[in-house]
Amino acid sequence: MKAEILAIRPEDFRHLHAITKSIATPNPKIYWSDLILTAIVSWTSLFIALCSPRLSYVQVFATFFSGAAFYRGVNFIHEISHHPRNLRHFTVAYNVLFGFYARIPAYFGNSHADHHSVRKFGTQLDPEYEIWSQRHPLNVLRPLIASFISPFLLFCRIAIIPVIYIIAGKSFQIKVIRRFSSIVMNFDYQYSNTQPKVLTKVRNLDLAAMAFTWTIISIWVHFKMPTDALVIHYLTLVLGNMLGSFRALGVHRYTSGFAEQNAQQQFLDSVSIRETLFSSIWAPLNSNFHSIHHLLPHLPYHSMLEADRILQNDPLLQKYYLTTVESSLWASLSALYKRARLNQLERVQRS
């Protein structure tokens, strides 16, 4: 039975594309309305948190909603990386509303293409992959700990480093783009596209993001705003990073061993997690359906629920799809920990 499940036939792929063709086109109206509504919730919640009494229930809940909403907004960077031509001017709006605040400009998502590359997925050339199943089980906590550190690193990257590479020149800027301008789980990853057009785009966006950051700092200092404002800002970023870390750990099985994976193996390494009451918080934009995304990377986020329904009910495809489905995020994370624990025990026994 296992061999049958793993043997996805070419005609099944053709059938899949045929039955999802009608939902494969991004709808700009949905993207724009979602982006604007998310921005309203993000900034309004942040304003309420800043104006509320310290440690009041209102401030605590407003900070949480602001962090979750900004996290949702930052997730649009993933959609931008897949649909740059279908969403004109969307990148600019993303940068202004979310990218500069979180210090994650849209070009940080350029490396995402390597995560979908058949040649690079699951290897050391994949920025968003780490072989957690073969690491010590406690290593799964590493991304969560990094959530508290990454806001400081991103501040240095956006507010300080651009000044240095403008002075130091092109060679230093190339090093920065290769090593410090991508969303990564694999810290050895290096982005390869450093063409002049890319360098110019990154430099311009860095200058804009740096100007935004220092303008906010200047306003804070000039008006002698309380340190609470910085703490709330920091907590919204930490919350977003933490939610992203949980999601990233849960949507792959991380069993490649850094060996090259074909398209079928890429799909089977990915996980879709059933829709729950809280999935829209930790997996915004339907990112819990990750195996569908690797099966149909061109599919817009607003079509994922329909694709899930199609795959679960299609006689030819359901047997493949259901092997990638977990009942909850906790179930997926528990399975990851158990695989890592089992591999650790086997290593101890061999030694």
Which single residue is written with the structure tokens 């694999």? 186
> Regarding predicted confidence, which is higher, 23 or 88?
23
Segment 100-111 mean pLDDT: 96
Query: In the predicted model, is pLDDT for residue 2 greater than 50?
Result: no
Segment 5-19 mean pLDDT: 81
**What CA–CA distance (Å, rounded) separates 232 from 107?**
26
**What CA–CA distance (Å, rounded) separates 281 from 328?**
13
pLDDT at 38: 98
Query: In the predicted model, is pLDDT for residue 343 greater than 50?
Result: yes
Name the band, by pLDDT with cuts 50, 70 and 90, for residue 296. very high
Mean pLDDT, rounded, of the chain:
93
Single pTM value for the model: 0.94
pLDDT digits (tens, 9 = 90+) for 149-183: 999 999 999 999 999 988 888 899 999 999 999 99
Q: Nearest CA to 82 among 129, 125, 122, 31?
A: 31
pLDDT at 5: 46
pLDDT at 3: 36
Query: In the predicted model, is pLDDT for residue 226 greater than 90?
Result: no
Q: What are the tokens at 204?
A: 């311009």
pLDDT at 277: 81
pLDDT at 6: 56
pLDDT at 91: 95
Total domain count, the chain: 1
Give Cβ neighbours of residue 153 (< 8 Å, ≥ 6 apart). Answer: none
Q: Nearest CA to 109 among 80, 69, 85?
A: 80
Residue 340 is part of which domain span? 2-350
pLDDT digits (tens, 9 = 90+) for 177-212: 999 999 999 999 999 999 999 999 999 999 999 999
Among the ranges given (58-67, 93-102, 314-323), the one the predictor scored with the smallest mean pLDDT: 314-323
Segment 226-244 mean pLDDT: 95
Query: What share of the chain in percent tops pLDDT 90?
Result: 83
Angle at 245 between CA 240 and CA 250, to 5 degrees: 130
pLDDT digits (tens, 9 = 90+) for 113-146: 999 999 999 999 999 999 999 999 988 888 888 9
Q: State how far the alpha carbon of 206 is from the alpha carbons of 56, 176, 220, in Å.
A: 36, 11, 21
CB 13 within 8 A of CB 72: no
pLDDT at 1: 32
pLDDT digits (tens, 9 = 90+) for 245-281: 999 999 999 999 999 998 889 999 999 999 888 899 9
